[in-house]
Amino acid sequence: MEFFNVVTVSDARMIIDDNFNIKIGYEIVNLDECTGRILYEDVISKEDVPAFKRSAVDGYAVFSKDVFGASESIPSMMNLKGEVLMGQVPVERIEFPGDCVYVPTGGMLPYGANSVVMMEYTERLDESTLLISNPAAPGENIIDAGEDIKTGEVAIKKGTRLRPYEVGVLSSLGFLNIKVSRKPKVAIISTGDEIVKADGIPKPGQVRDINTHLLYSLIMEDSGEPVVYGLIKDEFSLLKNTVEKALSECDAVIISGGSSVGKKDETVNVINSFEGPGVLIHGISVKPGKPTIVGKVRDKIIFGLPGHPLACAVMHRVIVSHYLNSLTGHKLLEYPVTCTFNINYHKAKGREEYLPVMLDYDGDKIKATPVFGKSGLMTGFSKAWGYIRIEKNQEGIKEGQVVYAYKF
């Protein structure tokens, strides 16, 4: 394949989808350990939630017809029969006109009641007499059985990344052991003669390792399990041996650096040295991150990402995350913030661009200001709230133009 026979981002994703159809499998985890995991199958409720009709407020359960027309000037006089105790089935019943029963928030509604009057609209005259100064429509202040979740309903869809809120739903349904997608193991191999460990002291011409730790965190965000294979010098045999080991142990491999066409860039040669299709993509029409590689070896995917940290981060977001989500079945839904662009910005046609931006309020509007930085620098992401995507045939953005910002 000729270098920089570039494809679009959408074409790159399509090539990945067409060439890889791997099922990652599942594991069962405890309810308290499933936050951030991807649900493997639909959770179907085996019961109604709530299981009984209950009050949504502190107040008095009544038959709504008995308080029809009640007001402060002409209150309804009611017969107070007793109270509902939390966690117990009501003993008292609404059986005669004018009966009422005190019920706390969440308490079970007594037989015969079809609404609840809030305490603010009541006044006790004595132990058995209550004045109600506000009407209540049928069903008012009541939560019906199954109003939250009905028996047989899909409570949480497969592919959902479980948050504390979904954990709450699972506990309400009595699910303690949750079937989640197995975390895909993703190898991280950083290359470059100029790279030293993050805790090392760089000599002139050397830089600390950023991408290993950057990719580690990004993979964790994608519900993957990062496996670090260390820093590898720009030597064919060393890189091939490391990739060989990573392929035998992991579901996917990421090689950071060596994706361009320099004399020491060996990623393409290593991928093509194995049996299989080899390199599928070398070059994606995106800024930053054009010299990205996607290969296939032994039915496993190998990504060759640019060594420059900003470009590496963008391409992980654009390409690697897409693949990891397809492995786990996660459907990523993004809801951008509508903003007004703060300056005139020109870009070259032909490449889709991911531009980091800061957001700030300008009166009642949100303005987006680009964070300028070369792909070799990392602060473009650390300072930015998110990014805007500029289409490849778009020449730029005008000051005051409405844009959509996606959160990192």
Nearest to 183 by CA among 79, 70, 38, 296: 38
Is residue 375 predicted with pLDDT exceeding 80?
A: no
Name the pLDDT band for 5 (thresholds 50, 70, 90): confident
DSSP bridge partners of 394: none
The two structure tokens encoding residue 138:
């049928």
Pick the CATH number of 27-49+147-181 from 3.40.50.720, 3.40.50.300, 3.90.105.10, 3.30.70.260: 3.90.105.10
Of 349 and 397, the structure prediction assigns the larger pLDDT to 397
pLDDT category of residue 377 using cuts at 50, 70 and 90: low
**275 has a pLDDT exceeding 90:** no
What are the residue boundaries of the structural domains of the chain, listed by start?
9-24+184-328, 27-49+147-181, 54-143, 337-407
Return the number of other C-beta atoms located less than 10 Å from residue 285's C-beta. Answer: 18
Assess contact for 212 and 256: CB atoms under 8 A.
yes
pLDDT at 29 over 90: yes
Query: Which of the four CATH numbers 1.20.1560.10, 3.40.47.10, 3.10.20.340, 3.40.980.10 does domain 9-24+184-328 have?
Result: 3.40.980.10
- Interatomic CA distance for residues 32 and 42, integer angstroms: 19
pLDDT score, position 135:
97
pLDDT at residue 392 in the model: 87
Q: Is residue 263 predicted with pLDDT exceeding 70?
A: no
* Contact (Cβ atoms closer than 8 angstroms) between residue 357 and residue 385: yes
Domain at 337-407, CATH class = mainly beta
- Quick one: average pLDDT of 52-79? 97
pLDDT at residue 111 is higher than 60 = yes
Rounded to 5 degrees, what are φ and ψ at 364?
A: -100, 10
CATH number of 54-143: 2.170.190.11
pLDDT band at 1 (very low <50, low <70, confident <90, very high): very low
pLDDT score of 53 more than 60: yes
Overall average pLDDT of the 265-283 stretch: 92
